[in-house]
């Protein structure tokens, strides 16, 4: 399923020059601007989206964490995805779709994920550069 969706995406967005596959079968990587990339992994009955956003902001960290938790509440501030943090304090956005979708819904979910990634990347960088 995911392989066909990625082929359709390459065709729809004219991404022929960009290699989306990885060395791991069933895992694809979509490069975005500013060093961002989305990894899409195939799972039984669906797929998993994940992206590293930015280092967790040290300045105003408590404020930023509160904003991230509020965004996670009902998925309203993340468009259905989830904000988290890795062990090395990198802000992560992820979304699990564990059910069958058609290509249009896949594309809509991916678009929402990209929009949320863009917003939180900007928020993290803005908070990082803001001095208390």
Radius of gyration over alpha carbons of the chain, in Å?
Answer: 15
Give the rounded percent of residues in the chain with a pLDDT score beyond 90. Answer: 56
Domains of the chain, residue spans: 2-129
Residue of higher predicted confidence among 16 and 107: 107
Structure tokens at 89: 């304090």
Which CATH architecture describes the domain 2-129? 2-Layer Sandwich (3.30)
33 — pLDDT class (breaks 50, 70, 90): confident
In tens, the pLDDT along 1-32 reads 888 998 888 888 777 656 677 778 889 988 88
- Residue 29's DSSP bridge partners are 39
Q: At residue 130, does pLDDT exceed 60?
A: no
**E strand or H helix at 48:** strand 46-55
* Cβ atoms within 10 Å of 92's Cβ, excluding its own: 17
Asked if residue 109 lies in contact with residue 80, where contact means CB atoms within 8 angstroms, the answer is yes
pTM of the model: 0.89
Structure tokens at 73: 């509440």
CB proximity list for 8: less than 8 A, separation 6 or greater: 103, 107
């Amino acid at each position: 399923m995911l392989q066909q969706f990625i082929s359709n995406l390459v065709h729809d967005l004219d991404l022929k020059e960009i290699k989306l596959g990885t060395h791991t079968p069933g895992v694809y990587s979509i490069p975005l601007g500013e060093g961002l990339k989305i990894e899409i992994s195939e799972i039984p009955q669906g797929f998993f989206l994940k992206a590293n956003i930015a280092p967790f902001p040290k300045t105003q960290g408590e404020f930023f964490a509160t904003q991230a938790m509020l965004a996670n509440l009902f998925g309203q501030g993340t468009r259905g995805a989830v904000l988290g943090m890795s062990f090395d304090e990198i802000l992560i956005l992820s979304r699990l779709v564990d059910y069958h979708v058609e290509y249009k819904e896949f594309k809509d979910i991916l678009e929402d994920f990209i929009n949320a990634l863009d917003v939180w990347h900007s928020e993290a960088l803005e908070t990082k550069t803001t001095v208390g």
